[in-house]
Amino acid sequence: MLFRQLFDQETSTFTYLLIDATTRDAVIIDPVYGKMQRDLDALKEMNAELKYIIETHVHADHITGAYDLKKATHAKFAAGIATGLTCGDALLDEGEVIHFGNEVLHAIPTPGHTDGCTSYLWRDRLFTGDTLLINACGRTDFQQGSAETLYNSIQKLLSYPDEYLIYPAHDYNNLRVSSIGQEKQVNPYIVETSKEEFIDKMDNLQLPKPKKIDASLPANLRCGDRMTA
């Protein structure tokens, strides 16, 4: 297996490249608009061919790079079924998988931050989007957010083995990877937190509106088509 974690400094977004080492078929998770050359260079360097562009959810903080990347590579677009996107090639429900070469990526619906939030399992790695972040979790105060639903989704993720690695959609504290066991031990949204306490905490975060939400949401609901040209 070949694997690369990429980072967009401006929006603190992680993009992941997963590649079958034998066939060189690849998928990319959560590409960022403006970073296509970086992604294409990484694919070229690893002699890989992009088969799928996969989103963990309809992002509010950045425009997805999916649209440009799809045009450049002819890869298919996939996201969770509950995103309701009509522009995708594959909308994934519980238990559905994406095959790339001999590798398999499993879709795990984890709503709460948004309705369509979907985590993905590849081997021993969970790509958790904004459902479970390192020492944190996604906010629930816009985009169909529900603290109760998010709590249940986090519990669902915590049912995976402790040694499974967590690769989130963002990190703002220079952290890169965690594990189920580590989050159970140190995540302040998990440790000794009942469902009621979690909901209360989430409902009182009083976070500012994401800077790019007004441009990001409409474009991301079109799978990244900015319609500005």
Q: Residues 42-61 vs Fe ion: string with x where CB under 5 A?
A: -----------------x--
Quote the tokens at residue 91: 């909308």
DSSP three-state, residue 4: strand
Q: Answer whether 73's CB lies under 8 Å from 50's CB.
A: yes
Strand 2-8 relative to strand 13-19, pairing: antiparallel
Residue 31 structure tokens: 């590409």
- Tell me the per-residue interface mask from 117 to 136 with Fe ion, x by CB under 5 A, - otherwise: -------------x------
Residue 221 CA to residue 145 CA, distance in Å, equals 16
C-alpha dist (Å) from residue 210 to 84, 141, 146: 22, 11, 17
The distance of closest approach from Cβ of residue 227 to Fe ion in the complex, given in angstroms and rounded to an integer, is 21
Ranked by CB distance to Fe ion, the top (closest) residue is: 130
Query: Nearer to Fe ion by C-beta: 101 or 116?
Result: 116
Based on CB atoms, which residue is closest to Fe ion, 11 or 178?
11
Minimum Å gap between C-beta 188 and Fe ion is 19
CA–CA separation, 223 vs 221, rounded Å?
5
Q: Spell out the residues 6+ positions from residue 213 whose beta carbon is closer than 8 angstroms to its own.
A: 60, 61, 142
What does the block give as tokens for 37? 């050359």
103 binds Fe ion (CB under 5 A): no
What's the min distance (Å) between Cβ of 114 and Fe ion? 7
Closest approach, Cβ 189 to Fe ion, in A, equals: 15
Question: Cβ of residue 57: shortest distance to Fe ion, in angstroms?
Answer: 6
Window 169 to 208, contacts with Fe ion (CB under 5 A):
none
Residue with Cβ nearer Fe ion (51 or 59): 59
> Which residues contact Fe ion (rule: CB under 5 A)?
59, 130
